[in-house]
Amino acid sequence: MRVSKAQAQANREHIVETASVVFRERGFDGVGVADLMAAAGFTHGGFYKHFGSKADLMAEASANSLAQSLASAEALSVKDFIDVYVSRDHRDGRATGCTMAALCGDAARQSDDLKSAFAEGIERTLQTLGEKYPTGPDAAPGEARVKMIDLLARAVGAIMLSRACPDDSALADEILAVCHAQMTASLSVQS
């Protein structure tokens, strides 16, 4: 049952897309190659026609979803980014949310290949949002980047701590509400 080159390429992209969602939902170790292929609508045997190993797909799926999140962040102001990111919807929507928040704990234990994908995702996020960071007129050069690094760490930390609490826990919501307020407030304080 050979398939056209265009179809094969589309299928490959569909597998990467599916993997980027399922990995975020269940973690790299929480999904098998067979699960992944079934979720994409295929049988597991064809996997190695597209990828050298599961680890290769992990890196590619991460790069894919990091790039995707970045694309959606491009349309946002820093304030809007905070609203979207530090929210209950984002916390509860791991599968379609930020890859950093969903997988950076796992990434820390993976190959440098995978970590490079994360570093690039982080760097691009810093650049994209850093350009829009509202610094004062007499801000030092690099001020926006510094503020943006701090902001990203706060955002990722807030989501991850909130997700580590039991569902419907008051603490989980408190963390989000407090961090959202503090981050928003820090935006209007120019240094």
Partner DNA sequence: TGTACATCAGTGAACGCGCGTTCACTGATGTAC
Structure tokens belonging to residue 13: 């992209």
Short-list 29, 34, 64, 61, CA closest to 47:
34
The C-alpha atoms of residue 6 and residue 32 are separated, in whole angstroms, by 26
**Contact 152/126 with Cβ under 8 angstroms?**
yes
Buried b (16+ CB within 10 A) or exposed e, 98-124: bbbbbbbebbeebeeebbebbeebbeb
Q: In which residue are the tokens 């490959």 written?
A: 12
Mask: binding to DNA, 52-81, rule CB under 7 A, as x and -? Answer: -xxx--------------------------
8, 11, 17, 27: which one contacts its own copies (CB under 8 A)? 27
What is d(CA 127, CA 108) in angstroms, rounded to the nearest whole number? 22
Half-sphere exposure of 101 (CA within 13 A, CB side): 26
- Residue number with CB closer to DNA (88 or 109): 109
Is 109 among the residues that bind DNA (CB under 7 A)?
no
Nearer to DNA, 35 or 120 (CB): 35
CB of 16 to its own copies, least distance (A): 20
Part of the chain binding its own copies (CB under 8 A), chosen from 14-22, 52-60, 133-141, 180-188: 180-188
Binding residues for its own copies restricted to 73-92, rule: CB under 8 A: none
Alpha helices in the chain (DSSP H): 5-26, 33-39, 47-50, 54-73, 78-85, 88-92, 99-107, 112-130, 143-163, 170-188
- Tell me if 111 contacts DNA by CB under 7 A: no
Q: Does 104 bind its own copies (CB under 8 A)?
A: yes
54 binds, among its own copies, DNA, none (CB under 5 to 8 A by kind): DNA
Nearest distance in Å: CB 42, its own copies: 25
- Residues 167, 7: Cα–Cα separation, whole Å: 41
Binding site residues, DNA, CB under 7 A = 1-8, 11-12, 31-35, 37, 42-50, 53-55
Binding site residues, its own copies, CB under 8 A = 26-27, 29-30, 94, 100, 102-109, 112, 115-116, 118-119, 122-123, 146-147, 149-150, 152-158, 160-161, 163-167, 169, 171-172, 174-175, 178-179, 181-183
